[in-house]
Structure formats: structure tokens, C-alpha cells
Structure 1
Amino acid sequence: MTRLSFAPPSTGEVVDYGHRFDASRHWPASLTLGFAAYPEANTSITRMNVARHYGPLRVQRAFYPEGRDGCCHVYLLHPPGGIASGDSLTIDVTVSENAHALLTTPAANKLYRADSNSVAWAQHTHLKVEDGATLEWLPQETLAFDGSRGVQTVEIDLAETAKCLGWEIIGLGRPASDLPYVSGIIEQQFKLTRNGLPLWLERQSIDPEHPRFLGKWGQGGSTVHATLWAVGLENPTDAITELRDKIPASHNWAVTHRRGVLLLRYLGMERNEAWALFQQARDILRPRLIGVESVTPRIWLT
């Protein structure tokens, strides 16, 4: 078999792109997106002005379901539909001054079982939001198959007056097929900064062999956990009160506010319950954050 070496445009690194299945297996993919606000008449329009991809990560076009002067909706496409051993996905998004972008995915992301060499996968997301800009990061859930091994990182860099609303949802195993998550390890890392100063740093390992996984002081045996964040709210205390008043009380979720970051957590057994909770929370928080009612991305309805 002939192997070819390619240099990804963003790094210049030479990568062995052959179909290897040993411990050195490495299949990279990257997507770089930029959004900018362009003045037009008495308003401005957010356009996607940068779209570079390497490997099986891409977007097709921008949508404007909220009007041409409204939020720019973009769907992130990963044709393989899941991440396997050796895959390395990098997503880099910049929302420039006064622009407003919403990014989501057409379906759940799947984290497949590691191969016989236990080669890990990697997924890194970097989101940069400049002054006066807003980013909504709303991917559909991630489903981790039994035996999956990898590292998932999310870094969010906000300027002084930037706003961000986002979430991450992960479901463990495939309960409908009676295939629980009983082996493997997934490390999740979150880093959110404003003007380079940390507001929220978090790291956790999802390891079913660790006492934390089943302990009541940790995962407690739950198969779904999720986090929603909102940064830039004028009155987070009132926002929390509204969330608690309008969303049915449950021991599966809680909300707090620290250092300018509102965090809503879910820990339970139902993906649909977490998804419904986060959509209700977005309906409440979006008007408070940007003064505009929530609009459901069309891709969620297909």
C-alpha cells in the first residue's frame, strides 16, 4: 500500500495519512470558521468570512432563519458520524466584533470503542468571541460507546463585552441496546477566560472503574451529564430565579453563578430530559442575554 504525507494548512505539520491500525494511528481533521459583522443600511449582517477545513470536517452554508440582520446559523458536519481510535478533530471558531453566530450539529456525535491497541481519540474546540459579539454553541449530544478512550477539550476566550451561551451533553453507553459504559476512560477539560483571565476551569475523568463513577459523591451511576453556561447576563440573580420558577423542580439539575458565569448542571439517566431542560433554559436566558427570543435551528426538526 502506498502512503502519502500531507501537510495540514493550519499547522504545517507533516502527517502520515496512511490507513494504519497500529499504536501510531492518527487521522487528523480540522475546521476553522470566522464570522464578521458587515454594515448595511441602518443595521449589520453577520457573514461567515472564513471557512477552512482539512479532512472530514466542514460546513456547507450559513442560514438566516431570524432574518438577514439576525443571528447567522451554521451546522458543523462530520460525515463519518463518530470518532474512532486515532481520530484527532480540531474546531477553531472566531466571532469578530458585533457579530452573532449560532453553531450546532445535525445529529449526535458518537465516541466509538477503542481498537485493539487502545489508541485514544482527541477532540479540541477553541471558541473566541470578540467585543460586542455573541456566540451560541449548541451541539447535539455526544454518545460514548463502551470502551471509548479519549480527551475532549473546550476552550472559550471572551473579550470584555463578549457574550456566550452554550452547552455540552454527554451520554454514556447505549442503554436501549443494553450496552452500558463499563470500560474505557474519557477526560473532559473546560477552560473559559475573559480578557485572558480564567473564569471557569474544570477537568474530570469519566472512568467506570473509579469509585467516583458509582459513588453518590460523584457520578452516582448516572449515564447522562451535561453543563449549560451563559456569560454576559446583566442580572444573573434574576435569571436564576426565573429558571427555578419556570422549570419544574427536579433533583437532576441545579444552577449557580460564579465570577460572571451562570452554570446549569444536569446529572441523570435521560438524554431527552437533559435536552428538554436545556432548551427551556435557553428560551429563558437568550432574551436576557441578547434581547431576542429563541429560534429553533431547522436541523433539530429534521
Structure 2
Amino acid sequence: MTIGTAVRHAEVPATPAALRYASGPGVRGKADVVFARRQGRTALASLFQHDPLRVLFPTPPSGELTSAILVTTSGGLVGGDEIAVRIAAGEGTAVLASPQAAEKIYRSAGADCRIDMRLHAGPDAWLEWLPQETIVFDGARLRRLTVIEAAPGARVLAGEMLALGRAAMGERLRAGLLRDTWEVRKDGRLRWADALHIEGDMAGVLNHPAGLGGAVACATAVYVGDDAAARLAAARALLEETGEGVRCAATVVNGVLVARFLAAEGAALRRAYGAFWAGFRREVAGLPARLPRLWHI
């Protein structure tokens, strides 16, 4: 099922070419969500969605942001599937976007699964992309690209969490492909690029002290804003409270604050990551130090 544009305004940017996939095997899910400021508040300006992606807009609690919740109705992705998401927060808007639940990447017979995530924040906008886990099954092949584009005065808090195998089943990654790539552009210039690429002997890389040191879950949080460098001390103070079983650190590169997490147990990483996120959004934007209720389900 395809749902076309709900509202269209002349200033809404066109859907980027990255969201237009060619036909082929596997599903081709798309979600293009644009927010604009209308009568002093953030409102939906444009929506396009195509199965297996759906976007929900729950009424936020008092004091919270306008929200967009992404749902993958297929229950997971297999080799050959491709999904593309763009969340665009227009000038002066404040938006929280998040997946409804963890994303599953199933074992592949050979083809890659591709996820293209685009986050665009207009001038003086606040945009949060709060992740849930991406659970990578043994034998899965995942290529994911996350691109942040921040205009002057914009602030973006975004992240991703990876569960490396199904821990409840004792599964560890032995073979497959995991490539997780980030690109951050601010004021039209590339400020930070990063890629995690593991292929072939995945267990060897994940267990090696120079690799992930035996971690079964990892996560990244990225903050883009004019005040990123000034927020580093606060980020590190929050990370000191993560507790046992989680290794974490934060730095600033070219005006982009990056926090990393590694853990030997997925639940411990989720608790630490959620606590950091809640505290950091309060510190930076004066927002409530809490996460959406669905994040706790």
C-alpha cells in the first residue's frame, strides 16, 4: 500500500534520489516525513510512505516534542530488502523521531540488506533520532548509511544501537557482513565520516582486543550543533554514571560530538544508552530527562 502526500507546500524539499530505488528482488520500503513551523508550532508538512514502512504520529505528553514513530510492518529485513527513510525538520521546528521497536536483520542467502537513513535539520531546528536496537542475526548482510545534514543554527541528536547476534539464544556473529556508515554535513560541508566494516571472520574481529573486545552490543550517539565542543564535559560526566559492564567514551571531531558504547550484555548497554540520552537532551535542549514510553516496552 502506498500513501501519497498528506500536505504539500512549495518550500518542502523534493525527495532525494537516494529514496528512489530501482525495481528488483526484495522489498523497497520508503518513508519521507517533513515538518514545518505553522502558527507557532511544529506540524506535519509532507508525508510519503510505502510498505513495509509506516509512520505514526502519537500525541506527545505535555512538554514533549512532536513525534514521528517508524514501524516496519514486515517484522524484519532479509537479504535483498532495501528501506530508505528521510526525516526533515524545517526551520524553527522541534521533532523527535524513533522506530517503534528493534529492527531484525535476518540471515541472508547472499544478497545485502540496505538501509538509507537521512536526517535533515533546517535553520534553528532541533531534531532527535532516538534509535532502538538493530539485531543482526548470524549470516546477515547489512549495509546501512546514516546521513545528517544540519543547516546554520540547527541541532541534531542522533544514534544507532547494534545487537551482534541473538543473545537470548546464545548466538554470536560468525559470518556475514556488517557495514555501518555515517556522514555528517554542517552548513553544507562534510564534517565527520565514519564506517564500521566487519566481513568474513566476524567472530575473530568482534573478540579481538583491538576490535570490539568480546562485546555483543555497541552503540553510537552523535550531536551536531554550534555548541558541540562546549557540551563535551557534560557528555563525559553523564558517561561516568553508566555503571558496570559498559565501556564508553566521548570526543569532538570538527564540531561533531561523538559518544561510543560497548557492552558484553545488551540490556546493560540499553540502560546506559537510555540514561545518557535522557540526561544529554536535558543538558543541551532543556527537554525532559525521559524517553518515549514505547522505548521502555
**Range into which the TM-score falls when normalised by the shorter chain:** 0.7 to 0.9
Partner Cα distance (2:59, 2:198) in 1: 36
**C-alpha contact 1:48 1:62 (8 A) present in aligned 2:** no
Q: 1:229 aligns with which of 217, 222, 239?
A: 222
Structural mapping, 1:289-300, within 5 Å: 289-300=284-295
**C-alpha contact 1:66 1:295 (8 A) present in aligned 2:** no
- SS of the residue corresponding to residue 270 of structure 2 reads helix
Q: Deviations over 1:39-65 (max 9, x none)?
A: 2xxxx2111221101221111324221
- Equivalences, count: 281
- SS of the residue corresponding to residue 154 of structure 1 reads strand
Equivalent residue for 2:53? 57
Q: Structure 1 runs of 4+ off > 6 angstroms? A: 11-14
Q: 1:170 aligns with which of 162, 166, 170?
A: 162
The 1:120/1:268 distance shift into structure 2, 3 A limit, reads: same
Partner Cα distance (2:158, 2:96) in 1: 9
Cα drift, residue 72 of structure 1: 0.5
The 1:52/1:221 distance shift into structure 2, 3 A limit, reads: same
Equivalent residue for 1:3? none
Structural mapping, 1:197-212, within 5 Å: 197-207=189-199, 209=201, 211-212=204-205
The 1:102/1:243 distance shift into structure 2, 3 A limit, reads: same
Q: Deviations over 1:173-222 (max 9, x none)?
A: 11221222111011111001101212220012122516533321112232
Equivalent residue for 2:68? 74
Q: Are 2:280 and 1:285 aligned?
A: yes
Query: Which residue identity does 2:157 align to in structure 1?
Result: L
Please give the root-mean-square deviation of Cα atoms over the aligned residues, in Å: 2.4
Equivalent residue for 1:36? 36
5+ residue gaps, structure 1? 1-5, 17-23
**C-alpha contact 1:32 1:93 (8 A) present in aligned 2:** yes
Q: Quick check: 240-249 or 104-113, which moved more? A: 240-249
Q: Are 2:242 and 1:240 aligned?
A: no
Equivalent residue for 1:216? 209
Q: Deviations over 1:228-251 (max 9, x none)?
A: 112224622431353255444766
5+ residue gaps, structure 2? 6-14
Structural mapping, 1:1-302, within 5 Å: 16=23, 25-39=25-39, 44-67=40-63, 70-115=64-109, 118-207=110-199, 209=201, 211-232=204-225, 233=227, 235-248=230-243, 252-302=247-297
**C-alpha contact 1:36 1:47 (8 A) present in aligned 2:** yes
**C-alpha contact 2:215 2:265 (8 A) present in aligned 1:** no
Partner Cα distance (1:250, 1:269) in 2: 7
- SS of the residue corresponding to residue 111 of structure 2 reads coil
**C-alpha contact 2:97 2:129 (8 A) present in aligned 1:** yes
Partner Cα distance (2:45, 2:286) in 1: 25
Larger Rg computed on CA atoms: 1
Identical columns (%)? 25
**C-alpha contact 2:245 2:264 (8 A) present in aligned 1:** no
The 1:251/1:82 distance shift into structure 2, 3 A limit, reads: closer
Report the TM-score when normalising by structure 2: 0.86
